[in-house]
Structure 1
Amino acid sequence: MTSPDGNLEVAVDFSDEGHMYYTLSFNGEVLLENSRLGLSMADEDFSTGLSLVQVSDVVRITDEYQLKTGKRANYNYEYKEQSWLVVNANDAQMEVVFRLSKDGFAFRYRFPDSSDEVKEIVSEASSFRFVDGALGYLSPMSVAKTGWESTNPSYEENYQVEVVPGTPSELGAGWVYPALFNVGDIWMLISEADVDRNYCGTRLVPGHQDLEYKIGFPDERETFAGSHVNPMSTLPMETPWRFMAVGSLGDVVESSLGTDLAAPALDMDFSWVQPGIAPGAGLF
């Protein structure tokens, strides 16, 4: 599948072991190669032993929306979407949904089966395996329950420059979003979107291949006492979008994929709101 302007292309492949991979190219240049797809539940494994059932037609969609704050008032999100339906060794179903727009790439997982049983996702195989020469500009995730009054993670660690993909964070807890990378004059920004109450926020951790980062889940201490960190939901369910803005540095700065991929905002009355001056500081 290619993006509406033809610049981005995603290709999907399967290994003999049933691992699902994708490759992402921009203007014919490979940016991500043999990157993993899939996840594991407590009672089902969707990271290996996968078989392809069906590939949907590519659909082209335009979404228009407005925001009260942000980079602009009016947004026009034009994208192509395609779903790949796979089954695991137990014939349980998972859909991998891909989107391509002029400024980036995104994917998420959907589980179309119906069940009143609560399912727990214990890990994601989802990864970003870069080509040789890629460099990252990354902020380490701070270790939970450290720092002032044990309030970490506070997302205030200094960014590290020219990090070779796959390098572990010096703090050992992964890297936060947004995570910026480049290959020459092509820039890529990784983050996530449409994270709801049933899913955790994630981070990047070293993958199993060279030059690779994968999705990592939070530390068990990063939650309210007595609650759980791992995503839990009945079926059907879908995961957040994993996305990568791609293009020049200016394209990445101007990209609105974070809101393009988010669920629509609540329809609320803003007629009473008046603009004003608002100071901000980390600590008073």
Structure 2
Amino acid sequence: MKVRSMKYIYLIFGLVISTTFTINAQEIVSPNKNIKAIVSKKESDKNSFGQVYFKILYKNKSKYIEIIPNSPLGILRDDQQFTDNLKLISESKSKEVNQKYEMISGKRKWCDNLGTEKVFKCINSNNEPLNIVFRVYNDGVAFRYEFTNKSNSLVNVIDESTTYVFPSTTNRWLQTYTDSYEGFYPFSDTGKSNDNKNNKQEWGFPALFKINNNPIWVLISEANISGNNCASKLNNSKNPNQYKVRYASPRDTFKQTGVKTTLPWNSQWHTLIIGGLSDVVESTLITDVSEPNKVEEINWIKPGAVSWIYWAYNHGSKDYQKVVEYIDLAVEMKWPYVLIDWEWDVMSNGGNIIDVVNYAKSKGIKPMIWYNSGTSWLEPTPNDRLLTPEKRAKEFAWLNKMGIYGIKVDFFAGDQQDMMKYCIAILKDAAKYKIMVNFHGATVPRGWARTYPNLMTTEAVYGAEWYNNNTVLTDKAAAHNTTLPFTRNVVGSMDYTPVTFTNSQHLHSTSYAHELALSVVFESGFQHFADRPEGYKSLPSEPKEFLKNVPVSWDETKLLDGYPGEKVIIARKKGNQWYLGGLNGNEEIQTLKINFDFLGTGNFKLKLIKDGENDKSFAVEVIKVKKGDLLNVECLPRGGFVAVVEK
């Protein structure tokens, strides 16, 4: 009798749970039918207003698995709440989104913005409208909020109730939030931070999750931020498995919370890249949902390799003679660019900025120069030449007259709305003067490279320049380097400043072949090769020739194998050649296995440059391969390899 009673209670409880979120439940399905997003509303007993939720299902072995349980949606203005007081009044029919577009730099030249869209029209308890737009792609989900009514007066969008809920057994790789995005992505299976600096439990984008024990991964970020948005972050302080979206915090010189805007208005796209690890690494979802190219003429935008002075000396470019050495290095290595870093405005020891620019041009090298954004750390100069449209016009006209091809802008003050406006203003104005841009000390990429293709790369990474600052990277570099392809570099070009063989202020522990492989594994429209001239000039002929010829923009990208923090093999295609890069993130010898299923028909020649007898030597092999072959490459601890495959 007692058992039957308990069964009855469980049955009733199950019926309650199963019906809680079925009211007004509607689904959106990806074109390949592998991903479903379901939008529903939990109604209160007294009226038809309540909280709107979404959940995501993924087809694994012909069965749908719930990977994101019901998760709250909603947004908050200072004058209106659109959170737990919403009514779903209608939804649009499913609409195909289908655009093909070209990227000048990035992991793939031709991209497909292909998905299914539905618009859910809501009103709040004050009868004010809100649209929630969902798109479901073959490799993920994107959604955003839209206020559709019009107003001439400013409203303040201050917060969201958007929350990503995960099963408790989810594995995760998240970076403690900092506005420079220069940190590690440590593994956690609890969602709790081991970083005593992260007592707020705040996390930066992108954030990587592996769902339960399934081979299903989710990378959360955001895209298509405009001057009417601020950037956001995640917070799981209330529940370690519930990650709430929070807007950038006010700062000392900018007290605003959230966004001030007139209506109509839309939020950024909240993005979830979903699938196997290869789906995540190869995805272009961030640029797919971003605004198309706004730069009419683009033939002047040229990705390329750059020689870079800062790393070796932990300083800028005020020594004319040292800058000349890096121009000569670019000539020898056939790299098209040289970056003249901070303090060029006080250059001495034989010449000034005009002299060194003229020297570079006389050698066929295109110069680029550094600027302080003038908004944060003001010590390095020049620091106040870009802050207003008038100053930018004057400066960019001068750069055109001198023959400067690009700028690196550093030390932005954070993720607030004014910084988003400032970054976009720099990109727009630079494009008018045919100047390419590299953002440092800035927010993580959020799709601007599609809209403004003169944005060639962004730092927002704990990169090789940290060898200048402390000893941390010496021990962590190998594992960190094998995590970045699955996290930071997925969402956009990453200016890690790689491939250094000598030591800066602190030691390397990665092998020379590992360093060489970073030129392929890490994608960046400007690839700043950071070592001192002798580091490259003393290389054996094969790796030296490889660095002279390795592309920095790609027609196609494929993940061949990998796991965060342990290993990675990436294949990138340019023309008729495939370039492969493999990294061992472990402290022990590891055999990396190349599967050549990605090749077309016929026979191919593979030139392999791998670890030699020790971590400062190379071994070279030439091997015939074909589609379906397997090749084992033994890597030293923290080692790696590169290869070129051609018919």
Q: TM-score under structure 1 normalisation?
A: 0.89
Which residue does the alignment assign to 1:230?
258
Q: What is the identity, as a one-letter code, of the residue corresponding to 1:242?
A: H
Q: Deviations over 1:200-230 (max 9, x none)?
A: 1111101655611010122211x7x246341
Which residue does the alignment assign to 2:282?
254
Q: For residue 119 of structure 1, report the CA deviation from its aligned partner.
A: 1.1
In the alignment, the residues of structure 2 paired with residue 14 and residue 208 of structure 1 have an alpha-carbon distance, to the nearest angstrom, of: 22
In the alignment, the residues of structure 2 paired with residue 274 and residue 210 of structure 1 have an alpha-carbon distance, to the nearest angstrom, of: 44
Q: Does 1:204 align with 2:240?
A: no
- Shifted more, 71-80 versus 265-274: the winner is 265-274
- Shifted more, 266-275 versus 65-74: the winner is 266-275
Q: For residue 102 of structure 1, report the CA deviation from its aligned partner.
A: 0.4
In the alignment, the residues of structure 1 paired with residue 304 and residue 138 of structure 2 have an alpha-carbon distance, to the nearest angstrom, of: 35
Which residue does the alignment assign to 1:51?
87
Superposition pairs for residues 1-284 of structure 1, below 5 Å? Answer: 1-17=28-44, 18-27=50-59, 28-142=64-178, 153-165=179-191, 167=192, 170=195, 171-173=198-200, 174-183=202-211, 184-206=214-236, 208=238, 211-221=241-251, 225-226=253-254, 228-279=256-307, 284=315
Q: Deviations over 1:172-223 (max 9, x none)?
A: 35111110000121011000000111111111101655611010122211x7
Q: For residue 236 of structure 1, report the CA deviation from its aligned partner.
A: 0.6
Q: What is the identity, as a one-letter code, of the residue corresponding to 2:131?
A: E
Which residue does the alignment assign to 1:147?
none
Distance 1:168 1:216, change over 3 A: farther
CA contact (8 A) 1:200 1:229 kept: no
In the alignment, the residues of structure 2 paired with residue 141 and residue 274 of structure 1 have an alpha-carbon distance, to the nearest angstrom, of: 33
CA contact (8 A) 1:168 1:206 kept: no
Distance 1:276 1:22, change over 3 A: closer
Which structure dedicates a bigger proportion of its chain to helix? 2
In the alignment, the residues of structure 2 paired with residue 275 and residue 49 of structure 1 have an alpha-carbon distance, to the nearest angstrom, of: 49
Q: Deviations over 1:84-121 (max 9, x none)?
A: 11111100000000000100001100111111121111
In the alignment, the residues of structure 2 paired with residue 158 and residue 55 of structure 1 have an alpha-carbon distance, to the nearest angstrom, of: 41
In the alignment, the residues of structure 2 paired with residue 57 and residue 90 of structure 1 have an alpha-carbon distance, to the nearest angstrom, of: 26
Q: For residue 277 of structure 1, report the CA deviation from its aligned partner.
A: 2.4
CA contact (8 A) 1:181 1:189 kept: yes
Q: For residue 279 of structure 1, report the CA deviation from its aligned partner.
A: 4.0
Q: What is the identity, as a one-letter code, of the residue corresponding to 1:260?
A: D
CA contact (8 A) 1:140 1:169 kept: no
Considering only aligned residues, what root-mean-square deviation do their CA atoms show, in Å? 1.9
In the alignment, the residues of structure 2 paired with residue 229 and residue 278 of structure 1 have an alpha-carbon distance, to the nearest angstrom, of: 39
Q: TM-score under structure 2 normalisation?
A: 0.40
Q: Deviations over 1:115-141 (max 9, x none)?
A: 112111111101110123211101101
Q: What is the identity, as a one-letter code, of the residue corresponding to 2:181?
A: Y
Distance 1:207 1:53, change over 3 A: farther
Q: What is the identity, as a one-letter code, of the residue corresponding to 2:55?
A: T
* Sequence identity percentage: 28
Higher RCO (CA-CA < 8 Å; seq separation 6+): 1
Distance 1:169 1:15, change over 3 A: farther
Distance 1:157 1:276, change over 3 A: closer
In the alignment, the residues of structure 2 paired with residue 275 and residue 136 of structure 1 have an alpha-carbon distance, to the nearest angstrom, of: 33
When the two structures are aligned, how many residues end up with a matched partner?
271
- Shifted more, 154-163 versus 23-32: the winner is 154-163
Q: Deviations over 1:225-271 (max 9, x none)?
A: 24634111111110000010001101100000010011112133233
CA contact (8 A) 1:127 1:213 kept: yes
Flag the structure with larger Rg. 2
CA contact (8 A) 1:30 1:131 kept: no
CA contact (8 A) 2:31 2:137 kept: yes
Q: Deviations over 1:26-63 (max 9, x none)?
A: 01000111101001100000011111111110111211
Unaligned runs of 5+ in 1: 143-152
In the alignment, the residues of structure 2 paired with residue 61 and residue 10 of structure 1 have an alpha-carbon distance, to the nearest angstrom, of: 16
CA contact (8 A) 2:54 2:72 kept: yes
Q: What is the identity, as a one-letter code, of the residue corresponding to 1:19?
A: Q
